[in-house]
Structure 1
Amino acid sequence: MSPRNLLNDPAWQGCDLGHPLPDSPHAVSVALPRWRDVVAYEENDPACRDALKTIYPRFGLHPLIRQLTQPSEIAGSTVWPYPTAAAAQAALAHCRRKAPDSRSELIAIASVSCLRSDASATPHAKAFWQHTGLGLSSRQAAIALDQEAPPTSEDGEAARRAIRQRLADIHDVGPDHISLHPSGMAGLHAALTAVQNLRPGRSTLQLGFPYVDVLKQPRVVFHGGDLLQPQDMADVEAALDQLEPAAVIVELPSNPLLRCVDLPAVSALARVRGIPVIADDTIGTGINLNALPYADLIFTSLTKSFAGRGDVMAGSLLVCPQSPWARTLLTACTTVAGLGDADAIALEEASRDVKERAPKLDAHALLLAERLKTHPAVERVLHPKDCPNFRALMRSGAGYGCLLSFELKQGRQQAQVVYDALSVSKGPSLGTNFTLACPYTQLAHYDELAWAERCGVAADLLRVSVGLEDPDELWMRFQRALDS
């Protein structure tokens, strides 16, 4: 059977619950086609969870990984496999810090290094797995299970060289300034480890509404993370002087509000105080934005627009040559786990067309955003074009990224009706070549909706990653849902 073409046959109806997005054993998204499916997922409803044929890899254990680890679980324990012994050891050290009386241990399964956590350490093992993104990939699990053939190390290294060169060409830097990691969050882990060499034992300061794990990784795994939603640069300056953070973290743009801070001004304030700036350009992409003069480290989830297919996890970390700490950071940017051979080969293949594909996604997203603004049911549309600070970082001829968010005039009740009626694939993640929608706040902040509302993120906000479908046909799908 040929894989389902999600461009013209999206997974949007109740019968599609749990379908992998895309139709691949290594899909990183899963269909949650109705609002009630999202609620059931968040509330761990067994019927919903049992229907899922895959899961976003950092949020749980992929079915292939469960197949690998389940036989080694003993009463009350869970097993967490890692691609290297160093990564498993880091997970064990985290559990022992958080639960010193636990009896967690390292074990090997089919030559894979694993953490086996007892009941008291399991919440901490799960947090480390999610926030750091250092876990074993589904391809590595399939190889360990003898379900897929391992590639040669020479082919894996050739793929990594090609990816680094592709990213170097995008950012106009040397490939030696770029490292590859198992996920975007693993790239952040390497960045946070590096800045500890400059400013050890300090917390970080994040500016703007955060992607959940960008804030939680420094809070849970490192030395803490403060959050500031500044009104002006005076707020930033005061926070820098008061907190003296290890680093400032910014998203270009933020998720899901799609806004940027004034990065040149933030960089000037931070650097004069000896504080590096870490930027996440996953949504804006290096194709569109030039953050190099102002950010010292840039991490990216290559899972998203760079790959485009939604069936490979990967991340990168770029040390900016203009950084006053470039030499120190390059030396300090070691990683406990690099990008594996099989995933590197898949990513290299998927990203060959990124320079042609990404501008199409950007153009389609801009057109959909402009059309949504005209619809009488829509209260507001959030898109990077409306952010002056984003526009100030854009390269010549660049686009705005593939993401938009919108709210409806009648609030949650209408949002639920529109979401259920929307005939596009629905689930977590972004940057795929097929359109992917989700009620973002429900998925990312289900247990803290009131806090998100206070931060300006509506509980009924719908987020859309726009794909390569014909823009007019895609608009007809949105019109039908909005008019329902």
Structure 2
Amino acid sequence: MSPRDLITSPCWRGVDLGHPLPDHPHAVSVALPRWQDVIAYEEQETSCRQALRTVYPRFGQHPLVAELSQRIAPVGGSAWPFPTDAAARAAEQHCRRQAAGAITERVPFAGLTVLSCDAAASPHAKAFWQHTGLGATSRQAAIALGRDAAPSQDAAMEARTLIRERLAAIHRCDPALISLHPSGMSGLNAALRAIDVLAPARPTLQLGFPYVDVLKQPQVIFHGGELLQTTDLNRISAALDQLNPGAVIVELPSNPLLRCVDLPAIAQLAHQRGIPLIADDTIGTAINLSVLPHVDLLFTSLTKSFAGSGDVMAGSLLISPDSPWHQRLREALQPLADLSDADAIALEQASRDVQQRVPQLDANCLTLAERLEQHPAIRTVMHPKDCTNFQSLMRPGAGFGCLLSFEVRGGDAEAKQVYDNLQISKGPSLGTSFSLACPYTLLAHYDELAWAADCGVPAHLLRVSVGLEDPDDLWQRFVSALEP
């Protein structure tokens, strides 16, 4: 049977609960087609969890990874496969810092290292897995289990070279400045480890509403992270003086509000104080934004728009050639794991059309945003076209990215109805060639909804990653869902 075409046959009905998105053994998203499914997922309801045929890889264990883990997990405990012993050792050290009496063991398994944990260590191993993105991927698990053959190392080396060259052409920099990682969060992990060499044991300062793990990783895994949600440069200046962070972290743009900070001004404030700036351009993309003159380290989830396929985990980290710490950062950079051979080959193949695909995703998203703004049922649309700070960073002829968020006028009740009736695939992730919607706040901040609402991110907010569907056809799906 051929894979399901999610552009023409999306997973949007209740019967689609748990379907992989895309219809592929290594899919990184899963269908949560109804509002009640999202709630059941967050509440850990057994019937919902049993229906899931996959899971977003950092938020749980892919079925192949889980099968491998079950072979090693102790009674009452858990097991966590990592691609290298260095990554497993870092996870073990984190568990022991958080739970002094915990029992852990590193177990070699078919080229991987599995961290075996007792009940005391397990929640901390899970947190390390989620926040750092350093866990073994489904392709690595398939090879370790003997389901797939290991690819040629020469082919993998060639794939990595092509990926770096492709990224370098987009960023307009030397490929040697780019390192490849198992995920976007592991790219951030490598950046934070390098910062810790330059400025040991110092917290970070993040500006703007955060993607959950960009904030949680420095808070939980490193030396703390403060969050400041203001555009007032005087307040930011005062916070830098008071905290003296090891680095400032920004997202370009933020998720899901899709706003940018004043990057040149922030960079100037940080650099005047000898503080490096780390940026995440996953949503804006380097195809659209020119940021290297202002940032010191730039990490990206290549899982998203760069791959576009939704079936490979990968990330990159770029050391800006303009950074005053350029050489010191290169010397300090010691990643705990590299992008695996199998994932590198898959990523190289998926990203061959990135220069043509991303502008089309951007154009389709802009069309949908403009149409939604004119619909009487819509209260507000969030899209980077309305952010002057984003516009100031755009390359000539660039787009605004593939992501938008919106609120309906009827609040929670109407948002549920719109979500349930919307005939596009529904689940986490973004940047895929097929459109993908989710009630973002429920998925990312279920245990802190009041805090998110205070930050201007209500529970009924809907986020949409726009795909390659015909814009008129896609609009009709939204019109139908928005009917009272």
TM-score between both structures, scaled by the size of structure 2: 0.99
Contact 1:249/1:279 (8 A) holds in 2: yes
Structure 1: distance between partners of 2:441 and 2:36: 14
Q: What is aligned with 2:142?
A: 142
State which drifts further: 111-120 or 359-368. Answer: 111-120
What code does the residue aligned with 1:429 have? S
Is structure 2 residue 2 aligned with structure 1 residue 2?
yes
What code does the residue aligned with 2:321 have? P
| 1:123, distance to aligned residue in structure 2 (A) | 0.7
Offset from partner CA, 1:46-87 (integer Å, 9 cap, x none): 000000000000000100011111122221110000001111
Structure 2: distance between partners of 1:221 and 1:69: 23
Is structure 2 residue 234 aligned with structure 1 residue 242?
no
| 1:231, distance to aligned residue in structure 2 (A) | 3.5
Q: What is aligned with 2:91?
A: 91
| Unpaired runs of at least 5, structure 1 | none
Is structure 2 residue 376 aligned with structure 1 residue 396?
no
| 1:143, distance to aligned residue in structure 2 (A) | 0.5
What code does the residue aligned with 2:159 have? A
Structure 1: distance between partners of 2:54 and 2:173: 37
Q: What is aligned with 2:265?
A: 265
Contact 2:74/2:117 (8 A) holds in 1: no
Is structure 2 residue 472 aligned with structure 1 residue 472?
yes
Is structure 2 residue 375 aligned with structure 1 residue 375?
yes
| 1:458, distance to aligned residue in structure 2 (A) | 1.1
Structure 1: distance between partners of 2:38 and 2:459: 13
Q: What is aligned with 1:428?
A: 428
Structure 2: distance between partners of 1:112 and 1:242: 43
Contact 1:180/1:339 (8 A) holds in 2: yes
Structure 2: distance between partners of 1:175 and 1:368: 35
| 1:353, distance to aligned residue in structure 2 (A) | 0.3
What code does the residue aligned with 2:213 have? D
Q: What is aligned with 2:132?
A: 132
Q: What is aligned with 1:107?
A: 107
| Unpaired runs of at least 5, structure 2 | none
Structure 1: distance between partners of 2:68 and 2:119: 20
Structure 2: distance between partners of 1:345 and 1:446: 36
Q: What is aligned with 1:169?
A: 169
What code does the residue aligned with 1:159 have? A
State which drifts further: 427-436 or 69-78. Answer: 69-78
| 1:312, distance to aligned residue in structure 2 (A) | 0.0
Between the aligned residues of both structures, percent identity stands at 66
Structure 1: distance between partners of 2:195 and 2:393: 24
Q: What is aligned with 1:287?
A: 287
Is structure 2 residue 460 aligned with structure 1 residue 442?
no
Contact 2:65/2:141 (8 A) holds in 1: yes
Structure 2: distance between partners of 1:423 and 1:388: 32
What code does the residue aligned with 1:81 have? P
Q: What is aligned with 1:207?
A: 207
Offset from partner CA, 1:85-113 (integer Å, 9 cap, x none): 11111111111111111111111223320
State which drifts further: 201-210 or 190-199. Answer: 190-199
Structure 2: distance between partners of 1:395 and 1:360: 16
Q: What is aligned with 2:346?
A: 346
Structure 2: distance between partners of 1:69 and 1:215: 28
Structure 1: distance between partners of 2:332 and 2:305: 28
| 1:293, distance to aligned residue in structure 2 (A) | 0.7
Contact 2:83/2:111 (8 A) holds in 1: no
TM-score between both structures, scaled by the size of structure 1: 0.99
Contact 1:69/1:109 (8 A) holds in 2: no
What code does the residue aligned with 2:182 have? P
Aligned-residue RMSD, C-alpha: 0.6
